[in-house]
Amino acid sequence: MKADEEGFLYPSVEIGLCVDCGLCEKVCPFNAELESHQPQSVYAAINPNETERLQSSSGGIFSMLMRKIIEAGGVVYGAAFDDNWNVHHIAIESIADMSKLQGSKYVQSSICDTYIHVKQNLQTGRQVLFSGTACQVAGLKKFLRKEYDNLLTVDVICHGTPSPMVWQDYIKTIWQPKGADAGENTVLLSLNENPSIEGISFRDKKLGWRKYGFVVRYSDDQRKSEKFGLSSVEAKSEIWESLHDNVYMQGFLNNLYLRPSCHHCRVKSGRCESDITLGDFWGVWDVCPDLNDDKGISLVLVNSSKGEDVLASINALLYDINYKDALKCNPCLERSVQETKYRKMFWSSYSSDTVTDNIRNVVKAMRPSFTRKLYGLIMFFVSKIYHSFVPKRT
């Protein structure tokens, strides 16, 4: 796999070694016509274990599924950070390691050689839970080329996956990996050495699930403040920014650096054939307001009878939902986010050293100007006045 100039990995064939069997093209989900499927059932769902729920991005249902498989002696695959805050798929086999897979990481996760290990585990008869984006699940299914009773697959509803290179360039603005040149540190300006990052969460729920924040947690701030002579404010042990203030999240949610294929996703609407699809139940406040305690509610789509059986066995709090209501508040279930001219603008001025300025500038350019806002407001009032005199045709 080789990274392109945007930092996304693509397969590259070593012509000298290729035996021209065509298998790689045969198993590529993007070369196949995949059928869409409506889910068998749809639920609003909550993990009754509040600690697990708060550590998760949505309602914490994935943690319940992990626990079930691990307690049965199985192995769970999902996206985790490594020591340098890259995101890739790993396997876990113990309850103690569950926290590594909890929480959404808004970066494209590298699959590494997990498909091969999944197959080996399946062949020994072990229970396997594989989780990831729909394209990763579709890729695994094509790679396996047959169904396994001991495999449970879970995909997440997906807005799109951001470039790992942008993420790494962004993370360098708040942290320098050991041995790297010290660059501009935009968060702790007086730090020239490594602050030791203990954890990163893209979906911190300190101010609630709806107003989630991006948080970087530093360890040992007492030692750090002494060593670097920082004031207590500078040596604070975490940096918390709302999704509106965090520059990386703004670039992600404005679709500046998603993988190009995410704008034409071919595996939405159940096409990846996972057993269960998990997402956030945005819109719960309209559909079932009594459920919303702002600690996270999952949207669960069950796509197979295997998924139905597993879900029934984990003791999650489940509430029947109409698919149309789920779709209304979560269009990413069926539709890809659109590519705009601002994506091109972002990449044409990309430089690793100025990543945060670049995101800020492009996001600013996306905002309507004062004149456009004023024009919109005037047109709104003109149409209100017009309709109050001219009755609407029915």
Ligand X SMILES: Cc1cc2nc3c(=O)[nH]c(=O)nc-3n(C[C@H](O)[C@H](O)[C@H](O)COP(=O)(O)OP(=O)(O)OC[C@H]3O[C@@H](n4cnc5c(N)ncnc54)[C@H](O)[C@@H]3O)c2cc1C
Provide the minimum distance between the beta carbon of 79 and ligand X in the complex, in angstroms, as a whole number. Answer: 3
Provide the minimum distance between the beta carbon of 64 and ligand X in the complex, in angstroms, as a whole number. Answer: 8
Rounded Cα gap, residues 168 and 192, in angstroms: 18
Provide the minimum distance between the beta carbon of 132 and ligand X in the complex, in angstroms, as a whole number. Answer: 4
Q: Name the residues that contact ligand X, by CB under 6 A.
A: 56-63, 78-79, 87, 101-107, 109, 131-133, 154, 156-159, 161, 278-280, 298, 330, 332
Cβ atoms of 326 and 281 within 8 Å: the answer is yes
- Indicate the DSSP class of residue 391: P
Provide the minimum distance between the beta carbon of 101 and ligand X in the complex, in angstroms, as a whole number. Answer: 5
Residue 81 token pair: 């950070």
Provide the minimum distance between the beta carbon of 285 and ligand X in the complex, in angstroms, as a whole number. Answer: 14
If the CB atoms of residues 176 and 202 are measured against ligand X, the closer one turns out to be: 202
Provide the minimum distance between the beta carbon of 307 and ligand X in the complex, in angstroms, as a whole number. Answer: 14
Long-range interactions of 85-90: CB distance < 8 A, separation 24+: 85/167, 85/168, 85/171, 85/175, 85/197, 85/200, 86/110, 86/164, 86/167, 86/168, 87/164, 87/167, 88/112, 89/114, 89/132, 89/136, 90/114
Provide the minimum distance between the beta carbon of 37 and ligand X in the complex, in angstroms, as a whole number. Answer: 18
Q: Which residue intervals of the chain are DSSP H helices? A: 23-26, 50-55, 61-71, 98-101, 114-123, 134-144, 164-172, 221-228, 247-253, 284-287, 305-313, 323-329, 341-348, 355-366, 370-389
If the CB atoms of residues 156 and 355 are measured against ligand X, the closer one turns out to be: 156
Provide the minimum distance between the beta carbon of 38 and ligand X in the complex, in angstroms, as a whole number. Answer: 17
Which one-letter amino acid corresponds to residue 259? R
Provide the minimum distance between the beta carbon of 386 and ligand X in the complex, in angstroms, as a whole number. Answer: 37
How many of the other CB atoms lie within 10 Å of CB of 43? 23
The partner residues of 45 in beta bridges, in order of sequence, read: 298, 318
If the CB atoms of residues 132 and 139 are measured against ligand X, the closer one turns out to be: 132
Q: How many helices and strands, by DSSP H and E, does the chain display?
A: 15, 13
If the CB atoms of residues 106 and 248 are measured against ligand X, the closer one turns out to be: 106
Print burial letters for 48-59: b (CB count within 10 Å at least 16), e (below 16).
ebeebbebbbbb
If the CB atoms of residues 7 and 132 are measured against ligand X, the closer one turns out to be: 132
If the CB atoms of residues 202 and 346 are measured against ligand X, the closer one turns out to be: 202
If the CB atoms of residues 84 and 383 are measured against ligand X, the closer one turns out to be: 84
Which one-letter amino acid corresponds to residue 283? G
If the CB atoms of residues 130 and 350 are measured against ligand X, the closer one turns out to be: 130
Which strands form 276-280's sheet, in the order they lie side by side?
A: 87-92, 75-81, 128-133, 151-156, 276-280, 298-302, 41-46, 317-320
Cβ atoms of 108 and 90 within 8 Å: the answer is no
Contacts of residue 80, defined as CB under 8 A and 6 or more positions apart, other chains included, come to 87, 88, 89, 90, 92, 100, 101, 105
If the CB atoms of residues 9 and 230 are measured against ligand X, the closer one turns out to be: 9
If the CB atoms of residues 132 and 195 are measured against ligand X, the closer one turns out to be: 132
Provide the minimum distance between the beta carbon of 96 and ligand X in the complex, in angstroms, as a whole number. Answer: 15
